[in-house]
Amino acid sequence: MRVLLACDRSGGHFFPAFSLANYLDKDEVYFFIPSHYFSNFLKIRGWKVLGKPLNFRNLLLEGTFRVCEALYVIFKVRPKKVIGFGGRDTFSLIVIASLFFIYTAIYEPNVVKGKANKYLSLIVRKVYCGFNQTFKSSKAIKVGVPLREDLKIWDKKEAKDKLGLFNDLAVILCFGGSQGAIFINQLVKWLINNVKRDFQIIHIVGSKQFNEFINFYDKIKIKAKIFEFCLNMDLVYSATDIVISRAGILSLVEISWFGIPAILIPHPGASRHQSANAYYLQERKACFVFEQDNFNYQNFKNTLEKLLDDVSLRRNISHNIKSLSLAVSSDQFYKNLEL
C-alpha cells in the first residue's frame, strides 16, 4: 500500500511521521517535506522524498505554488493513503488528495488544534490526536505522542562526564526547538548576567546565531556546552537539572519522559497551541510558564533562582511532569493508528 506522509518543516511535524514510517514498507512510503535539513536526513537513509523548500514566506505565492506542487505529487506518487502531520505547507496536498477521493487523515499532537488541521479535519476521514480534548468529533481517535526510540536515560553523572560538565553544579538546558529561538537565546545572555547563582549551561542555539554565541561564551567564565543543533538529546536531557524552552509538544513529551523541571516560554504565534500545551502542564504543577509578550524578567529571575536553590522543589516538579505520562512508544503509536 503506497502511503504519502506530508510534513511541514519543523521537527514537531517530522518526527511523528518518521516514527510511523519505520513500521511501514519502505518501498511504499513517500515523504513530502519542504525542508533542506530533513530532506537530506531522509535521503541519506534511502527514503523517497518530495517537496521543494521555499526561501520566502508569502501566503499568496506559497499557496499558488503548493497547489501546483500538490497536483504534481499526487499524479507522480498515486498514493492509496495520504496522512498529514500539520502545517500550512501540507494543506493543499491534503485538500487535493481528498478531492481525488484518496484516503486522507491528519495527526494533531497538541492540546489544541492548529489552524491547518482545524479546517482539514472537516474533510479528512480520520483525525488522530495526541490528547482526548483536542477534537470533539466521531472521526477523532486518541493515539498519543510517540517518543523517539533513540532516547535513552543515562546516569546523570555519566551524562555530565561525557559532555565535559562538572558533576556538582546544576545544569540549565536552554533551547528553542529544532529551529532555535532568538528570544530564548537573548534571554540566556540576560540570565547569565543577572542570575546570581552558580550553574552550568547547555545551550542549543540554532544556526542563525551560532557564531555569535561561540564568541559570547568564549568571553565568560561560566561552564557551557553549546550546540547549533543536537541529535544526541538523550545525553543532554540526562545531564540537565532545569530546562528553559519553548512548548512544542515533542519537546514537552521528551522533557516529561526525562522528568526535568521546566520553565516554558511558549511561542507567541502558531495559533497559541504552545501556550495551551504549557498551561496544561502548569495546571498540573508540572512546570512554570512565562509568556513572551510582556515578559516579566524579575519574576523569571526569582523562579529560576528558586529552582536552583531548592532541590526538593525540583524533585516535586520532576515527579509531577513525569507522572503525566505524555509519551507512547513508537510501536504503540503505530498500533493506535490502525492503518
Q: What is the DSSP letter of 24?
A: S
Spatial separation of the C-alpha atoms in residues 89 and 180, rounded to whole Å:
20
**Which of 130-144, 196-210, 307-321 is the most confident on average?**
307-321
- CA-nearest of 157, 140, 30 to 93 is 30
Instruction: Examine residue 125 and state whether it is found in any structural domain, yes or no.
Output: yes
Give the range of the structural domain holding residue 94, as residue numbers without chain letter.
3-143
Q: What is the pTM of this model?
A: 0.88
Domain boundary among 102, 117, 143: 143
pLDDT of residue 131: 87
CATH classification at residue 207: 3.40.50.2000
Quick: pLDDT tens for 143-164. 999 998 889 999 999 999 999 9
Residue with cell 546565531: 209
pLDDT of residue 87 exceeding 90: no
When pLDDT is cut at 50, 70 and 90, the band that residue 192 belongs to is very high
Shared-domain flag, residues 233 and 268: yes
Whether residue 136 sits in one domain with residue 198: no
The burial of 291, by beta-carbon neighbours within 10 Å (0-12 exposed, 13-18 middle, 19 or more buried), is given as middle
Residue 34 belongs to a domain: yes
Supply the pLDDT for residue 223: 92
3-state secondary structure of 324: coil
What are the start-end ranges of the H helices in the chain? 11-21, 36-43, 59-77, 91-99, 115-120, 156-162, 182-194, 210-218, 233-239, 249-258, 273-282, 297-309, 311-323, 330-337
Which pLDDT score is estimated for 263? 98
Tell me the per-residue pLDDT of 256-291, one tens digit each, with 9 for 90 and over: 999 999 999 998 875 688 999 999 999 999 999 999
The answer to whether residues 201 and 58 belong to one domain is: no
Please indicate, yes or no, whether residues 161 and 135 belong to a single structural domain of this protein.
no
159 and 235 Cβ atoms separated by less than 8 Å: yes
Tell me: do 75 and 212 sit in the same domain. no
Q: Are residues 108 and 243 in the same domain?
A: no
Q: Is 246 or 62 the better-scoring residue by pLDDT?
A: 246
Q: Does a structural domain hold residue 130?
A: yes
179 pLDDT higher than 70:
no
For cell 522528568, name the residue: 259
Q: Measure the CA dihedral 87/92/94/100, to 10°.
A: 180
Residues 210 and 130 in one domain: no
- Whether 182 is in a domain gets the answer yes
Domain match, 12 and 35 both:
yes
Amino acid 41: pLDDT: 93
18, part of any domain: yes
Same domain, 34 and 178: no
| End position of a domain, from candidates 143, 177, 197 | 143
Q: Is there a single domain that holds both residue 137 and residue 277? A: no
Structural domain contains residue 260: yes
Q: Do 291 and 165 sit in the same domain of this protein?
A: yes
Q: Where is pLDDT greater, at 137 or 236?
A: 236
Q: How many domains does the chain have?
A: 2
Q: Which of 210, 262, 219, 259 is nearest to 238 (CA)?
A: 259
Residue 334 lies in a domain: no
Gap between the Cα atoms of 15 and 13, Å rounded: 6
Q: What is the pLDDT of residues 162-174, one digit of tens each?
A: 999 999 999 999 9
Q: What nine digits make up the cell of 13?
A: 511535524
How much of the chain, in percent, has pLDDT values that exceed 70? 98
Judge if 178 and 253 occupy the same domain: yes
Domain annotation covers residue 318: yes
Mapped onto helix, strand or coil, the DSSP state of residue 107 is: strand
How far is it, in rounded angstroms, from Cα 329 to Cα 53? Answer: 30
**Chosen domain end from 143, 167, 184:** 143
The 10s digit of each residue's pLDDT in 37-54 is 899 999 999 999 999 998
